[in-house]
Each structure stands twice: as C-alpha cells, then as structure tokens.
Structure 1
C-alpha cells in the first residue's frame, strides 16, 4: 500500500512530463493537442524501436498502426457516389454527386493526400470524409489519388503517380465521362500532398501535350523545399506537436532513400553551405529576408554556413530537384501557374514555405490568396472526427472550401 502511494504520484508526474509541451498562448485547444501529440510520439518511438531491431521499416509499421486505429468510418451519404478505379495505372478514388440536377458540366478537384509521402491513404476515414464534404459542398467531382508510398517506393515515384493520374484525368474523353467542365478544375493537396500538387501543377503547365490546364491550385500547409531548415518558422516551431523539425527532415531523407546520418548536418544547413557549389544558384529563390514580411521574420537571422558537407548533395542531388522542391523553380515556370490558394498555420514548421511560395508567385504575376491562421497547427484540417476533432480543423476546412466555391 505504501509502495502504491509512492508509485502512483510518480507515474502521474512522469506521464504529465511526457505529455506537457510549452505551447503558444494563442494555440487552439492546447491540452487536447498535447494529448494527441503524446500518443503520436509514443507510437512513433515504438516504431523506431522496431526499425532499430531491424524487424521492419519504421514507416511501414507506423502506417500499419495508423490503419489499425483508423476504424472510425466517416458518415455515409446518399448524396455522394464513390468509385475506386485506376487512371493510367494509378489507383484513384472518385467522388461524384449522386444526383445530377441538370445537364450542366460540373466542377472538379484533383486531391492529393498528405502524410510525409509515406503515411495515410485516399481511403483513410479522414481523407474520405474531407472528399465527401467537398463533393457535397461544391457539387463537384473529386478525384483522390492513391499514390504509392515510401518506403516501398521513393522519389520520384510518388510524384510520377500523381502526375500520371492528373494528366490522365485532364484528357477530354475522361472529363466528358465524368461530366466535368474542362475549364473548372483545381489541383489540391495538404502537406506532402501539397508538395505533390504544386509540383504536378508546374509540370502540367510545361507539358504541351496537355490541352486542359488546371484553373486553380489550392495548397494546404504545403512542404515546398529542403534547402533551408532554419527559416523563422522552422526555428520557432522546431518542437511543435505533430511535425517537429527533425521529423520533417527525416521524412525528406526517407523520401529520397538517403543516408539517415545526414539528418543532423541538414538541421544546421550544412548541405547548402557557401562552399557547396550545387546549392549556389538556388540561394536567391529562398532568400526569406526579402520574401517574408516582418511579422513572420521576427528577430531571426539567416543560418548560412561557410563550410559544410558537399557529399550530402552529391549523394542526394534530388534535394534540388524542383519536382521535390517546387519553391526552387525559376520565375519562368512560376509565371505559368494558375490562380493559387495557400493555407498556412502559425504554429507549423512549414509556415514559411507557403508564405515564400505565395510571394514568389505574386512576384511572377500570379494571383494568390494567402490564408493564414494564427492559432492553428500543422495537419489540423484533417482532424475533424472524434477523438481527434479540433475546432481548428473545422475552421480551416470551411475557409478552404469557401475559397474553392468562390473561385472554381
């Protein structure tokens, strides 16, 4: 009994220490976020142990656990018809309004899910629910792409899958099959899906064989560059729940099937030091001192190493490939991009990726809406179903769909 009196408070204190994270006072629902993040971290650490013991790849195990936990089916809807099919060999899930009110052609959104190029699925309840709500709200055809995931494949295969599926859908006969207006199509995605959406838009804009170009692109807290991991948002939010800086860097390395030992050097920008010649031509594209407004720069200063590790870019040249890092694209490519919506969250390492891309697109003459949320966090838009339901998810989703409705 005496032992229990000692152990229980000790375990409670240990649990509180594990769960608690210092969060900004403006953060929406902080304790719920801390509890969710503690659960995520516990699962990730278990998966890392399995990886360390060489029993399986940690991302394979993590995705399996996510699938097991994903048992909460989104509410069925008589207003939406769902079909699983393939576009040019790529699996897709197509959401259509069940009833066609007239003979008018419909709007459409090609959606690419997030998850660090390694997690989640177009069939996951979170994305299934999002696409059904989009279909109902917009009375549109939603094509959700089920691209192949890391570690089964690596860059550029997820990009290739997304591009092939989008290009196939844009063919006149396919659009006619789904009664889609060729002039009212958007490409969209969140996080790593936002990365793929931006890269797909850039590729489509340069592909002369594609006659029907997207009218819009809508990027939700997109990851757009692996050049600078010391932007103000990367430093401000380095230990933020859901997506800490080091986790994002490891996602990048896994995406490229690179050496995980490079991670600690990349944290301090050794891969893009001044003596790394491959990186020099791209430095102006990510000069956040000029691309970010003062409200985002705060008191941070650029981290530019004089000497670094050139072997990182020699072994992983894909770090500078614009299909992986759309923010590195030249102005001539950016000028071809469609009207753009970018949603960013203050408490997100990727905030400045989105803000910089918005500015570079504006400088190239593209009309951009930057929709910034001060109290929100990375990934919040898909957290709308109990027990991971957040008001931030509902508010960001509503704002995103409203913009699509007004502009598509």
Structure 2
C-alpha cells in the first residue's frame, strides 16, 4: 500500500509538471525511479561490468570471474518499464543481471535501448534486434567465450514484449546462423487489442500496473493521440464492426485460449460499433513487432522454448497465458510458472530495500529453470 501510494504520487507529480509545461511527465517519473534505484547497493561485486556498443546500441556486459578459455552460457536481458521507464544499469535491474551472471556462471548482456518519449516504436524493437543480432554473431560469441548453443533472451513486462519480438525475428531470420535456445518472458505485455481480458477486468485497479496506466504506456510507445485512451480501454478500436481486426481475433480469443479457472465469471467486451479511425491512425496496434501475440503460427513455430512467468494480480496475466497456449499449439515447449500471490513488477522487488517474498521466489525459480535448461 505504501509502494502504491508513492508511485501514484509520483505519477501525479509528473502529470502536473507536464500540464505546466515544465517537463514531460515520463521524464519526471523516470527521474524519481533513477534516484530511488541509485540507493540500491551493488551486489555480487565480483561480477565485472563493461559498458559498450553493440552495432550502435548501448549495452552492458556482465562477466563472471574465472577462466575465459571455457565456453559459458549467456543471457541477453531486456528491461521493462512501459518502453519509457527504467534504469537498467542501476539498482534492481543491475542486481538481477549480476545475480544471473553469478548463479548461472553466464555472460549477461543488458540492452540499454532508447525510450519514449524521446523515441517511439519501432525504435525500441529495432535496437533490441540490432543488439541481439550483433551478440549472436559467431565472432562476438567467441570474443566473450560463449557457447553458441546456449544463449537465452529474457525480459520483464515491456522488456518481455521486446524479448518475445526479438526471439520471433531471430527465429525467422535466415541471415542469423545462431539462434536463441530459450526465451524467458516475465509478466510480458503482448497485445493492445483487448483491454478487457479477464485479467484486465479483474485487476483493472490493482497496484502497480493499472489498466489506464498500461493503455497510457501503449499510446506513448506507439506515438498515438492520448485522447483515444478512453476509447481503447472500452475496446472501441476492436468493436465487432472493425474489419481490420477480424484476422487477429482468434489469436487473442481468451475464452478459448485461457483455462476456465482464470476466466471465472468474466465475459468478453467487444462493442457492436466502434471507432474505425483508431486502427487507421495507429496501424502499429496490428503490428506483431509491437504485439507479439499477433504473430502467425508459422512465426511462432520458429520461436525458442519458452518460460513464461505470470501473476494472478496483474492486468497482463492473460497476455502471458494466451501466448503460452499459442506457442504450445504451434509446437513449442512452454513452462508457464504462475504465482497466485504474484503482482506486476514483483521480480524488481526481490532486492533491498523493497523485498517481497513472491519476488524472491520468482527470481529464484526462473533462474533455476535457466540453470536446468540452458
């Protein structure tokens, strides 16, 4: 409750600053996040960190100590924050990457992609793909003593979106000889056509990611008019009279893709008539590079084995579960690790000074899965 109240206050401060013309609201919120994350002590200090460029994209490479002549595993990590927030080289994300490097004895690369509002889709996606393609080059893997058969991609929230999209791209890219062996998607955001899935209805006002805030992140990422927020939250952009959506309906039909235990009493919300201008003005809503859940079965078949972490108290629960089911139907092996006490962002709260037991368990379990499978 204290965390939620603090975050709501920071968002309100950002909105006030924005309305007064002092600063963009996202910059205000991110400034608070950076200042807070700077208080988190550096852990696993034996892990060396190197800030460099991968094909022009800023990354940090974490090196475990020890002999370089042996081939190691590797994880490319992509941070979350609604494509707009986050400090990947500070605090909880730095601690998480250091822990992965230490626990897995692996090389870990975190992508410091540029964020909204300074850039918009597809820049974030393209930078993550650029960094991934560079890292997967045989000569680069040799440089870092990485086994080309044991490389995973991982991301949380919007980073899970980018990780899934990058894994899809690498999977079908004939110019990339080395592929990701695994993908780890931590409460990923995967679609923006239905803001009334069962989990959106159940958790629309549950901390720390509210339906309105998620819609706001999407509109910022896609550089869309913020005035359409109410319409998309009401699914006016995917109303029954919207012909542009028809080919994608089955890909996010949660009444078929989700187990009954999570659907509960919730019903789909698709108005009879909608706002046809939204999809015409924001075509990226239908772009699988922005919304990986909309990828074709042919693309999904080429995706790597997946671990998808979902939380019961999260508007994005159903995004992850639907993607897990679609991957399974495409023949991809999937582990869906669901936490009944999980909430959005819990993995970031596995480190001092804000530690939640579910965050500690979630970090331990997904790293253990990587240790076993990678």
Measured against the shorter chain, the TM-score band is: over 0.9
Partner of 1:94: 61
- Choose which of 39, 42, 50 in structure 2 pairs with 1:75: 42
Structure 1: distance between partners of 2:127 and 2:159: 12
TM-score normalized by structure 1?
A: 0.90
- Choose which of 297, 310, 314 in structure 2 pairs with 1:348: 314
Please state if 1:153 is matched with 2:114: no
| 1:76 CA displacement | 4.3
Q: Is the 8 A contact 1:78 1:98 kept in 2?
A: no
TM-score normalized by structure 2?
A: 0.98
Residues 27-46 of structure 1, C-alpha deviations (whole Å, 9 max, x = no match): xxxxxxx1100000011101
Q: Is the 8 A contact 2:78 2:111 kept in 1?
A: yes
Please state if 1:399 is matched with 2:332: no
| 1:79 CA displacement | 2.8
Q: How does 1:34-49 map to 2 (within 5 A)?
A: 34-49=1-16
Structure 2: distance between partners of 1:179 and 1:73: 30
Q: Which runs of 4+ in 1 moved over 4 A?
A: none
Three-state SS of the structure 1 residue aligned to 2:109 is strand
Residues 138-183 of structure 1, C-alpha deviations (whole Å, 9 max, x = no match): 0000000000000000000000110000100000000000000000
Structure 2: distance between partners of 1:201 and 1:107: 17
Partner of 1:117: 83
Q: How does 1:247-262 map to 2 (within 5 A)?
A: 247-262=213-228
Structure 2: distance between partners of 1:235 and 1:216: 31
Structure 1: distance between partners of 2:46 and 2:365: 22
Three-state SS of the structure 2 residue aligned to 1:299 is coil
Please state if 1:326 is matched with 2:303: no
Partner of 1:200: 166
- Choose which of 182, 199, 202 in structure 2 pairs with 1:233: 199
Structure 1: distance between partners of 2:42 and 2:186: 24
Structure 1: distance between partners of 2:329 and 2:43: 44
Structure 2: distance between partners of 1:252 and 1:92: 24
Structure 2: distance between partners of 1:111 and 1:87: 14
Structure 2: distance between partners of 1:105 and 1:223: 33
Q: How does 1:20-59 map to 2 (within 5 A)?
A: 34-59=1-26
Residues 307-359 of structure 1, C-alpha deviations (whole Å, 9 max, x = no match): 00011111100011000000001101111111100000000000000000000
Q: How does 1:174-193 map to 2 (within 5 A)?
A: 174-193=140-159
Q: Is the 8 A contact 1:79 1:99 kept in 2?
A: no
Structure 1: distance between partners of 2:43 and 2:362: 22
Q: How many residues align?
A: 374
Structure 2: segments with no counterpart, 5+ residues: none
Q: Is the 8 A contact 2:347 2:359 kept in 1?
A: yes
Partner of 1:9: none
Larger Rg: 1
